[in-house]
Amino acid sequence: MIFGGDVRKGVAGKKRGWSASRPRVLSDVVGKPQIMSLCKRYGKAKRILELGCGVDGFAYAMASFAKSVDAVDSSPERIRIASMVSCGNIRYHRADMRRLPLNDGSIDLCVSNLTVNNIKPDELPGFYNEVARVLSRRGRFVLLIPHPFYVPWAKFNDTSWSVKGGDYCGSRGKLFVGKLKTLDGRVIGIRMYHSLLEDHSQAQREAGLVCWMKEMPITGAISGKYHLYKGNEGLMPYIVMDGMKVRV
């Protein structure tokens, strides 16, 4: 999982739920707050699915306004830790997000924070077909992905990659592995497959999905508040995908 949380610190985060007021990594400051805002807009009293839930407490936070939350992760350790927190309307599943253990049309909103980048570009059509399958008529999806024009090419203060070089088109399908500095001084491992925006848009169209994309920049206000990101103003680490099912 790219820009993922530390499993050992997951229980505390789960008990309180994710909050932008307790940031640990860059996506907690820019990206996830926008995703949560969309979840509240589309997901009140709805059936929500989180793909790659991890242990950051995002599913727990959504449970406060959703009808139900199904949280999926392929890691047995993350699912074990996440399920330690009792909440009546959350169900945790150890599963591959390309083969979901859910019925057709059973989900109103599908959410993912920096997990789709674990999928190779040639596997995106199958992934989006699965998202479309479980979504209800006119169901929504909101996804946070690394910006492929900036990541891993731009020099972010908090990120270092073991694989150097490459370009937007020529590195399609390449696995990048690196390290991420957290705001509390820790270092965690990150990874991503490089996909093109065209890979996503084509796979979405073929699955009967439509999507709007919005770039998420590091602003002067962010770099002023968090010294780790000083000098990175204007760089865009993430894209928010805001979409819906249009074909039944």
Q: What is the pLDDT of residues 76-101, one digit of tens each?
A: 999 999 888 768 899 999 999 999 99
Q: What is the DSSP string of 29-41?
A: TTTHHHHHHHHHH
Instruction: Please compute the mean of the pLDDT values over residues 32-40 and round it to a whole number.
Output: 98
Query: What's the pTM?
Result: 0.93
Digit-coded pLDDT (tens) for 180-207: 999 999 999 999 999 999 999 999 999 9
Bridge pairing between strands 175-181 and 159-161: antiparallel
In the sheet where 90-94 sits, what is the strand order?
90-94, 68-73, 47-51, 107-113, 135-146, 238-245, 209-216
Q: How confident is residue 7, by pLDDT bands cut at 50, 70 and 90? A: very low
Which helix (H) or strand (E) segment holds residue 15: the answer is helix 10-16
For the 7-147+196-245 domain, the top CATH level (class) is alpha beta
Which pLDDT tens digit goes with each residue over 112-130? 999 999 999 999 999 999 9
Cα 177 from Cα 103, distance rounded (Å) = 34
Which tens digit of pLDDT belongs to each residue from 37-49? Answer: 999 999 999 999 9
Q: What is the pLDDT of residue 245?
A: 98
Residue 230 and residue 26 in contact, taking contact as beta carbons nearer than 8 Å: no
Looking at residue 86, its pLDDT comes to 61
pLDDT tens readout for residues 142-184: 999 999 999 998 999 999 998 777 889 999 999 999 999 999 9
What are the extents of the domains in the chain? 7-147+196-245
**Cα–Cα distance for residue pair 107/185, rounded to 1 Å:** 38
Q: Which of 194, 160, 191 is nearest to 177 (CA)?
A: 191
pLDDT at 148: 95
* Letter string b/e over residues 56-82, b meaning 16 or more CB atoms within 10 A of that residue's CB: bbbbbbbbeebebbbbbbbbeebbebb
Choose between 81 and 244: higher pLDDT. 244
